[in-house]
Amino acid sequence: MIFSIARFTSVLLGFSLLVACQVPSNSEIAATRPIAPISDRPTTNPILSEVEFEQLPTAIAGRVKAKLQREIGDASLQIGRYSRETWTDGCLGLGGPAESCLAALTEGWQVEVIDTTTNKSYFYRTTLNGDSIRRSTLSHNLPPSLRDRIFQTAASSGFANSDELYVITAEPRLWNGCYGIPPEDGVCTEVGILGWRVEIGDDRQSWVYHTDNLGSEIRLNETGEDKETPRSF
């Protein structure tokens, strides 16, 4: 009887050890693993249509610079950022309150001219053939085509619907190879990339993006800190 009890106790102890040493199931592992914060999870960059680059015609560049020369006098001028745009009306989106504008989409260009002596930028809007050239007096001159691509990027990332977004600030920038966003290793190529620093938002929050001029490169700046490459001509 004593032997039977001892044997039963030994079997029971062995079974207990076997249960304790079982490998946990996948569901048990998942339940005990800490979940990474949303901000730490990898995100997939939205797929945007490829930007089609078009060279600014020499004739358009010459006409825009000549117009600025007439407005500010003799100066050393250089073409900076430019892009093909579709304007909302015949006044190129720059019509005054008492001005009658053709209500039709108008193909054209946005052109930046830089006074290399003062480093001051002037933005112009033109028709496609340059027969109409108007200097912009807007608070910012972010190209509409680039604005739309930034909105699309934010919407694709799940931040907000594109029709709820608006531009808060838009500043022309000359970026280094990291687009002004400090990398973890601190190494950036010191090149000059014409682009923009753009803050967009909805009624709840805002986001800062660094881009090139056309929107082929759009990077979210999660910290708001940036480094601009000094401009030199």
Structure confidence at residue 47 (pLDDT): 54
CA 87 and chain centroid, separation: 21
Residue 143, pLDDT > 90, answer: yes
User: How large is the average pLDDT for residues 128-144?
Assistant: 97
Structure confidence at residue 14 (pLDDT): 46
Strand segments (E) across the chain:
77-87, 106-115, 120-127, 133-135, 166-175, 193-201, 206-212, 218-221
Nearest CA among 113, 103, 36 for reference residue 82: 113
Structure confidence at residue 38 (pLDDT): 30
- What's the Cα-to-Cα distance from 196 to each of 63, 66, 81, 113, 223, rounded to whole Å? 25, 26, 10, 16, 16
Vertex 232 angle, CA 226 and 233, to 5°: 145
pLDDT tier at 180, thresholds 50, 70, 90: very high
Structure confidence at residue 116 (pLDDT): 96
Structure confidence at residue 4 (pLDDT): 45
Structure confidence at residue 41 (pLDDT): 30
Give the model confidence (pLDDT) of 47-67 as tens digits: 566 778 899 999 999 999 999
Structure confidence at residue 52 (pLDDT): 80
Residue 62's H or E segment, with its range, is: helix 58-72
Give the model confidence (pLDDT) of 107-123 as tens digits: 999 999 999 999 999 99
Buried b / exposed e over 73-108, threshold 16 CB at 10 Å, is eebebebbbbbbbebbbbbbbbeeeeeebeeeebeb
Residue 60 DSSP symbol: H
Residue 153, pLDDT > 90, answer: yes
- Neighbour tally for 210: CB within 10 Å: 22
- Neighbour tally for 203: CB within 10 Å: 7
C-alpha R_g of the chain: 30
Question: Rounded to the nearest 5°, which phi and psi values hold at 5?
Answer: -65, -40
Residue 148's H or E segment, with its range, is: helix 144-156
User: How large is the average pLDDT for residues 134-147?
Assistant: 96
Structure confidence at residue 3 (pLDDT): 42
Give the model confidence (pLDDT) of 13-23 as tens digits: 443 433 343 43
Q: Do 71 and 135 contact (CB within 8 A), yes or no?
A: yes
